[in-house]
């Protein structure tokens, strides 16, 4: 072979089958990574988002687990015990102070669990009320976002998928709801729904949740799905026209295959991100309404209603306002920062 | 102004009118859905007196007729009927009274937010990644994630109760300082962030580099070239900001006991003064819709590159 080399200017060796060594060279050195793994990796690199995520997890776990074994409950008025006169010494305790009967028990050598943040004007342990209020606020935010997600996704997908007249009608409705001033409508609806719902749900499981929270959910279901459905409609419309969808169709892929393998995976990051950003929004709205007295039903606490109650005794007990204020701000801030981190990590396209 | 723009503006105005109509309709029927009617809370009322009251307020007529009367009175005379709880006063008078204070509050808050936000945003953009930029960004992030009622309560505790430098309430003079600050902080923080990012965007443009290369001085580049174009995104925030101020004033007026329209609204809800609730909702909603409309059209007017659908 070597003697023919001067006539042909092509290196014949180049056409020999590759040796194992050469094949090994072509093999990718790092293991292949999925989109999800890539995103998580990017997310973990973002320190702010990671810290916020840890904070959210900590707050959530505290809110769920702590009330289970805390010696006090959120609605027990410590000064009122069956068969005894009301012990007023339990009301408005400063942090780490004890009521009169508790002091006696301590003198007797018993151990009494301290009231970390004191008690409120009705003699209820304030620390557990804060924890419980956090739980309510988080739950409302989470479920409201899920409701918004389900309705928004369904309507958006129908609108984007069907197109034509259906799309036109849905989008006009969306336009109008979108231009309604949301807070005013929320206040109006929840002020009325509260009175309408109370007799309806009496005696059912729903009564435990309280008419105000249910009306809050209804309000979210009615008003807040529009931006989500707009987003999903836009996604579906643009994804439908992508070349790879056309390629898949040309290769004989069925409609359900295209939806499952192409449309949903490409939509899902946007959906998750906007749901994550919806949660602080819902918590914000809930606390705002609770502050105006339209939120959770007493004696159930939420961070907003705790802040609102604290306004009455603000001169003597300012910490009662500061604590829920700090917790709300912390939750909203960390959820927002985490949502931003999610967006940066999972949607490189948005991050132009 | 080409036809396309005019068609767009026309469409937007139509949508605005439609929106206000939807608000009126929703408000009307939602309020009528309350069980027992508006006089339920009045105890020990004889059927005859009840009928007389209902006749007086037109509640004995068929629902649709009530609706059209209500709509007609609003459109032709701006008449929202009399208040149920404040005897002898019309809803529109109560609203107009409250508006005087609230408008003052809102306008001052909006302009101070705009002024402070623009300056802080420009400073942050020009000193990008320096200490002052970081300080501004941290503070604005904190302000953006703090609900207005929390902000207001904290300011109340710090300045009126602990330090005693400003009065805790009042509808005039120094009493308005804290409510205005409370209302202005969130939009200010938002505008700061908006201005910073759009200013950074503009400063990276070719025409700024050209101006630099020509030897234009620093301040001249900022004020002559960069500022105008970085204002455009801020204009889009104009509408949402006023909407925020309107709804924010509901709680802020409550906290600082300012006798404005927000307080009247919240009080009307607790008192179940239905005509007042309806009137306030409709007026505030119309205000927000109109301001959004203006801000959208303004947006188009300042930047001819923007194409509207």
* Inter-chain CB proximity B149 and A308 less than 8 Å: yes
CATH of domain B101-270: 1.10.3720.10
Q: Measured between CB atoms, does B227 come within 8 Å of chain A?
A: no
User: Phi, psi at residue A77, to the nearest 5°?
Assistant: -90, 110
**Residue A28's pLDDT is what?**
66
**Residue B113's pLDDT is what?**
92
In chain A, what are the domain boundaries? 131-351
* Inter-chain CB proximity B266 and A292 less than 8 Å: yes
Average pLDDT score over chain B? 82
Nearest in space to A231 (alpha carbons), one of A151, A338, A334: A151
Is the sign of the CA dihedral A181, A182, A188, A192 positive or negative?
positive
- Residue B42 reports pLDDT greater than 80: no
Written as tens digits, the pLDDT of chain A (352 aa) is 455 555 566 777 778 888 888 777 777 667 777 777 888 888 888 888 899 999 999 999 988 888 887 777 777 777 677 666 666 666 677 777 777 777 777 777 777 777 777 777 777 888 888 888 898 888 888 988 999 988 988 888 888 877 788 888 888 888 888 877 777 888 888 777 777 777 777 767 666 677 778 888 888 888 888 888 888 888 888 888 888 888 988 998 887 788 777 877 778 878 888 888 888 888 888 888 888 877 777 778 888 888 888 877 777 787 888 888 888 888 888 888 888 888 778 766 554 3
Angle at Cα A320 formed by Cα A314 and Cα A321, nearest 5°?
70
What length does chain B have? 309
**Residue A73's pLDDT is what?**
75
A91/A79 Cα distance (integer angstroms): 7
B90 three-class SS: strand
Instruction: Give the H/E segment covering residue A152.
Output: helix A126-162
**Residue B309's pLDDT is what?**
46
Task: Spell out the long-range contacts of B137-140 with Cβ–Cβ below 8 A and sequence spacing 24 or more.
Answer: B137/B193, B137/B196, B139/B189, B140/B188, B140/B189, B140/B190, B140/B192, B140/B193
A110/A20 Cα distance (integer angstroms): 78
Superfamily in which the A131-351 domain is placed by CATH: MetI-like (1.10.3720.10)
Q: pLDDT tens across B216-239, in order?
A: 887 888 878 888 888 888 887 877
Nearest CA-CA distance, residue B32 and chain A, Å: 10
Inter-residue contact A56 to A334 (CB < 8 Å): yes
**Among B30-39, B154-163, B202-211, whose mean pLDDT is lowest?**
B30-39
**Among A296-305, B14-23, B87-96, whose mean pLDDT is lowest?**
A296-305
Q: pLDDT tens across B134-178, in order?
A: 899 888 888 887 778 888 888 888 887 777 777 766 666 777 888
Which residue is associated with the tokens 């776990």?
Answer: A61
A128/A180 Cα distance (integer angstroms): 38
Inter-residue contact B102 to B249 (CB < 8 Å): yes
Nearest CA-CA distance, residue B123 and chain A, Å: 23
Q: Residue B284 is nearest to which of A184, A294, A328, comparing CB atoms? A: A184
3-state SS track over A74-131: CCCCCCCCCCCCCCHHHCCCCCCCCCHHHHHHHHCCCCCCCCCCCECCCCCEHHHHHH
**Among A155-169, B35-49, B228-242, B265-279, whose mean pLDDT is lowest?**
B35-49
Q: Residue A328 is nearest to which of B16, B23, B147, comparing CB atoms? A: B147
Q: pLDDT tens across A34-51, in order?
A: 777 888 888 888 888 899
B40/A199 Cα distance (integer angstroms): 14
Tell me the average pLDDT across B54-59: 71
A77/A125 Cα distance (integer angstroms): 8
Query: How much is the pTM?
Result: 0.77
In chain B, what are the domain boundaries? 101-270
- Residue B38 reports pLDDT greater than 60: no
**Residue A351's pLDDT is what?**
44
A270 three-class SS: helix
Inter-residue contact A180 to B19 (CB < 8 Å): yes
Residue B164's closest chain A neighbor by CA? A315
Q: How much of chain B is in helix, strand and coil states, percent to nearest 5?
A: 75, 0, 20
Q: Is the ipTM of this complex over 0.85?
A: no
Alpha carbon separation from B97 to A130, B92, B93, B144, B254 (Å, rounded): 39, 8, 6, 31, 16
Instruction: Locate B114 and state its tokens.
Output: 């705009």
Is the sign of the CA dihedral A171, A176, A177, A181 positive or negative?
positive
A229/A223 Cα distance (integer angstroms): 11
Inter-residue contact A286 to A328 (CB < 8 Å): no
Residue A183's closest chain B neighbor by CA? B247
Q: Residue A183 is nearest to which of B19, B30, B247, comparing CB atoms? A: B247
Tell me the average pLDDT across B3-8: 81
B146 three-class SS: coil
**Chain B, window 126-165: residues with a beta carbon less than 8 angstroms from a chain A beta carbon:** 141-142, 144-150, 153-154, 156-157, 161-162
Residues of chain A in Cβ contact (below 8 Å) with chain B: 175-176, 179-181, 183-185, 187-189, 191-192, 195-196, 199, 280, 284, 287-288, 291-294, 304, 307-308, 310-311, 314-315, 318, 321-322, 325, 328-329, 332-333, 336
B66/A131 Cα distance (integer angstroms): 48
């Amino acid at each position: 072979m070597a003697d023919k080399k001067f006539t042909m200017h092509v290196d014949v060796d180049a056409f020999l089958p590759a040796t194992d060594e050469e094949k090994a060279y072509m093999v990718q050195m790092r293991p292949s990574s999925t989109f999800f793994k890539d995103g998580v990796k990017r997310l973990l690199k973002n320190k702010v988002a990671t810290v916020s995520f840890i904070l959210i997890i900590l707050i959530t776990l505290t809110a769920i687990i702590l009330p289970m074994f805390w010696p006090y409950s959120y609605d027990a008025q410590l000064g009122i015990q069956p068969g005894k006169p009301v012990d007023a010494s339990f009301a408005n305790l400063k942090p780490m102070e004890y009521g009169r009967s508790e002091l006696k028990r301590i003198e007797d050598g018993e151990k009494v669990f301290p009231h970390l943040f004191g008690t409120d004007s009705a003699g209820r342990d304030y620390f557990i009320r804060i924890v419980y209020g956090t739980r309510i606020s988080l739950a409302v935010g989470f479920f409201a976002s899920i409701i918004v997600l389900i309705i928004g996704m369904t309507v958006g997908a129908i609108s984007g998928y069907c197109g034509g007249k259906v799309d036109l009608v849905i989008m006009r409705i969306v336009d109008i709801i979108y231009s309604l001033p949301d807070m005013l409508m929320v206040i109006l609806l929840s002020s009325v729904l509260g009175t309408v719902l109370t007799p309806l749900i009496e005696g059912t499981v729903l009564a435990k949740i309280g008419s105000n929270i249910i009306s809050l959910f209804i309000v979210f279901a009615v008003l807040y799905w529009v931006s989500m459905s707009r987003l999903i409609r836009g996604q579906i419309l643009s994804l439908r026209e992508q070349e790879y969808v056309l390629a898949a169709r040309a290769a004989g892929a069925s409609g359900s295959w295209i939806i499952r393998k192409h449309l949903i995976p490409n939509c899902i990051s946007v959906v998750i991100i906007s749901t994550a950003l919806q949660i602080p929004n819902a918590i914000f709205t809930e606390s705002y309404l609770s502050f105006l007295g339209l939120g959770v039903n007493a004696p159930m606490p939420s961070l907003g209603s705790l802040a609102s109650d604290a306004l009455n005794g603000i001169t003597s007990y300012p910490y009662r306002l500061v604590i829920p204020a700090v917790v709300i701000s912390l939750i909203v801030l960390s959820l927002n920062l985490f949502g931003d981190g999610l967006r940066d990590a999972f949607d490189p396209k948005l991050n132009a | 102004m080409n036809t396309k723009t005019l068609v767009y503006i026309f469409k937007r105005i139509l949508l605005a009118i439609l929106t206000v109509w939807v608000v009126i309709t929703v408000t009307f029927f939602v309020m009528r859905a309350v069980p027992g009617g508006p006089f339920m809370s009045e105890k020990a009322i004889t059927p005859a007196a009840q009928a007389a009251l209902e006749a007086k307020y037109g509640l004995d007529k068929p629902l649709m007729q009530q609706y059209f009367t209500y709509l007609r009175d609003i459109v032709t005379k701006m008449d929202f009927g009399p208040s149920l709880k404040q005897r002898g006063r019309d809803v529109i008078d109560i609203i107009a009274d409250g508006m005087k204070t609230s408008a003052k509050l809102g306008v001052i808050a909006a302009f101070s937010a705009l002024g402070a936000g623009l300056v802080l945003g420009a400073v942050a953009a020009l000193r990008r990644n320096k200490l002052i930029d970081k300080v501004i960004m941290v503070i604005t992030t904190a302000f953006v994630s703090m609900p207005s009622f929390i902000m207001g309560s904290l300011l109340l505790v710090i300045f009126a109760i602990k330090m005693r430098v400003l009065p805790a309430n009042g509808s005039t003079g120094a009493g308005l300082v804290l409510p205005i600050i409370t209302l202005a902080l969130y939009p200010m923080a938002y505008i700061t962030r908006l201005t910073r990012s759009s200013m950074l965007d503009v400063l990276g443009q070719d025409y700024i580099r050209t101006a630099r290369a020509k030897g234009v001085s620093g301040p001249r580049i900022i004020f002559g070239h960069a500022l105008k174009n970085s204002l455009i995104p801020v204009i889009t925030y104009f509408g949402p900001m006023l909407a925020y101020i309107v709804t924010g004033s509901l709680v802020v007026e409550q906290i600082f006991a300012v006798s404005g329209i927000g307080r009247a609204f919240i009080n009307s809800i607790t008192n179940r003064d239905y005509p007042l609730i309806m009137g306030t909702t409709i007026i505030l909603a119309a205000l927000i819709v109109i301001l959004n409309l203006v801000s959208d059209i303004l947006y188009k007017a300042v930047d001819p590159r923007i194409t509207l659908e």
